[in-house]
Amino acid sequence: MKKNTLRKNKGMTLLELTIVILVLLTLIGVLFFGAQAYKEGSDRTACVLNIRNVQLAMRSYVNLNGIPQDTAMSQGDFIGTGKFLEALPECPGGGTYTLDLGTEVPAAGDVVTTCSLNASKNHDPQWDGSGLDASKTGDW
């Protein structure tokens, strides 16, 4: 005589439940890694756009006021209330911006704004491993 081996109890065994939980936790872990990579990429993009905006404010100030190349300038000339930028923007990744204006007006395409995260998180415009590609920032 055959014995009926079908379970009469409905539901999941402890092993099945453990496997389901493990699969769900794995999927959640993958989701968190993807979200973190997305956030870092968007922070870098926003940082590069902030650098570009500072560069454009500086270049606009120089062009509209007809300032010659050998003139010294400071950050306060184009950043402040009622000027081309209200304030120096903040890096969304938590870095800080540094302006290196030197002793004279920078040439067109020279990037004078740097982020403190440019080495560790690649917050550098047109970074290709060897430095800035000036051919792509000439209109900055």
Q: Is the pLDDT of residue 6 over 80?
A: no
**What is the three-class DSSP state of 85?**
strand
139 versus 72: which is more confidently predicted?
A: 72
Q: Which residues contact 1 (CB under 8 A, 6 or more apart)?
A: none
| 124 contacts 114 by C-beta, under 8 angstroms | yes
Q: Which residues contact 25 (CB under 8 A, 6 or more apart)?
A: none
Amino acid letter, 129? G
Q: Kindly report the pTM of this predicted structure.
A: 0.71
> Domains of the chain (ranges plus CATH)?
20-115 (3.30.1300)
Question: Per residue in 82-129, pLDDT tens?
Answer: 999 999 999 999 999 998 888 888 887 788 889 999 888 888 776 555
Q: Which two tokens stand for residue 75?
A: 């950050």
**What is the three-class DSSP state of 99?**
strand
Question: Per residue in 32-49, pLDDT tens?
Answer: 988 988 999 899 999 999
**What is the three-class DSSP state of 97?**
strand
Question: Per residue in 129-140, pLDDT tens?
Answer: 554 555 555 555
Write phi, then psi, for 114 (nearest 5 degrees).
-130, 150
